[in-house]
Amino acid sequence: MRAPSWVGRSGRKVSSLAGADPGQDLTSVAYVRELLRRNGLAPLNRLGQHFLVNRRVLEEIVTSVDPAPADVILEIGPGLGTVTRALAPAVRRLVAVEVDRGLVGLLGSTLAGLINVRVVAGDATRMDLGELLTREGEGVAKAVSNLPYYLTSPLLFQLMAVERVRKLVLMVQEEVAGRLIAAPATKEYGALTVAVNAVCQVRVAAPVSRHAFYPVPGVDSSLVVLARRDSGGPSAVGPALSAVTRAAFGYRRKTLTRALAGAHLPGMDRTLAYEVLARAGIDGQRRGETLSVEEFMALARAAQGLLGRDWPQQPV
C-alpha cells in the first residue's frame, strides 16, 4: 500500500504513513471497530471519545497545522494516533498526552516506527504543558487536539497560557466555533470571544460533519485555527480584562456604567466606573455586548491605570 500524501499551506509535502505501518487505515470505520475489538477496547462516553474516521478532515487538519521540520507538536488526546501518524513524519518532535490507559497501550502499536513521538500517559488538565514542551527541546511549538466537549474551555485556556505555542489547531463543537468568531452585538458574542481573540487571531478552517467520527456524536463540529498575536496581548492586563468582561456580559441588559458599578468589582463604584469609561474613551451608556475586543482591552487598561497595575487583587 502506497502512503498517501498532501501539501500543507506552506507548500511542504506531507506523507501520512512514513515510518508507520501503512496497513493500518485509521480512517476506516471498519478497521477502527476491528482494531478496538481485538484489543478489548471501546469508545468511552465519560471521556467524550469520538475517533476521526474521515481522510478529508485529516488532510484539513494537517494543512492547517502546516508542519515544518523544526516544529515541536503538542497533541492532546491522540486517541488511536490518526493525526499523530499524519504529522510526526514532517516535524522534529511530537509529544502526545493521552488519559486513556487502554489507548496508551494501543498507541505503542499504531505509532510503531515513529521514533520522534513520545506518548505521555495522564490527564493534560493536571499537567504543566509548558514544562512538557521544554523537555522536547527548542523549536516552534504548535498544538493540535480534538477537544473533548466537556473540557473545551479549560483545555483551550490552558493551551493559550503556554506562550511558546504559536498556533492551535482544534476540533470544537460548531456552537463553540461560532462563539469564538462572533461579532459584537450578536447573541454568540461573549466573554469567551473576547478572552480568546485578545490572545489569538481565530478562523474556522472547515466545518466538520458529525459523521466524520466514530462513534457518531450528537452535534457537528468545526476545525478552528488560533494563531497567537505577536503583540498587544492581554498578559499585562489579563485579570483586569477578565474582570471587566465578566461584569459587562454578566449584566447584558445594563449599561456599562451600571454593569461595572454593580458587579462588586474590588474598589469599583459608580464614580470610578464613570472615570474608567471616560479614560478608555467609551460611552458609559453603551452595553457591553457592543464593545469590540480592542475596546475591552482599552477598558481593562483604563481600570488598571486608575486602580493600580495589580487590579483586581482578588478573584472576581
DSSP letter string, 164-178? TEEEEEEEEEHHHHH
Domain boundary among 228, 255, 272: 228
- pTM comes to 0.91
Distance in angstroms (rounded) separating the CA atoms of residues 262 and 251: 9
Distance in angstroms (rounded) separating the CA atoms of residues 100 and 150: 16
The answer to whether residues 130 and 272 belong to one domain is no
Cβ atoms of 20 and 85 within 8 Å: the answer is yes
The answer to whether residues 251 and 223 belong to one domain is no
For the chain, list residues with pLDDT below 70: 1-23, 231-236, 314-316
What crossing angle do the helices spanning 191-199 and 152-160 adopt, rounded to 10°? 30
99 occurs within a structural domain: yes
Domain boundary among 186, 201, 228: 228
Residue 298, domain CATH: 1.10.8.100
pLDDT digits 0-9 by tens, 126-171 = 999 999 999 999 888 999 999 988 899 999 999 999 999 999 999 9
Cβ atoms of 224 and 159 within 8 Å: the answer is no
Distance in angstroms (rounded) separating the CA atoms of residues 199 and 235: 8
Distance in angstroms (rounded) separating the CA atoms of residues 170 and 1: 30
Return the pLDDT at 149: 87
The answer to whether residues 14 and 114 belong to one domain is yes
Return the pLDDT at 11: 58
pLDDT digits 0-9 by tens, 89-139 = 999 999 999 999 999 999 999 999 999 999 999 999 999 999 999 999 988
The answer to whether residues 153 and 252 belong to one domain is no
Distance in angstroms (rounded) separating the CA atoms of residues 121 and 102: 10
Return the pLDDT at 74: 98
List phi, psi (to 5°) of 193.
-55, -50
217 occurs within a structural domain: yes
Return the pLDDT at 24: 84
The answer to whether residues 47 and 142 belong to one domain is yes
The answer to whether residues 114 and 183 belong to one domain is yes
Return the pLDDT at 63: 98
57 occurs within a structural domain: yes
Residue 199: domain span: 5-228
The count of domains in the chain is 2
211 occurs within a structural domain: yes
The answer to whether residues 198 and 251 belong to one domain is no
Cell of 135: 523537555
Distance in angstroms (rounded) separating the CA atoms of residues 266 and 110: 53
The answer to whether residues 269 and 224 belong to one domain is no
The answer to whether residues 163 and 288 belong to one domain is no
Cβ atoms of 112 and 12 within 8 Å: the answer is no
Distance in angstroms (rounded) separating the CA atoms of residues 274 and 259: 11
Domain boundary among 187, 209, 228: 228
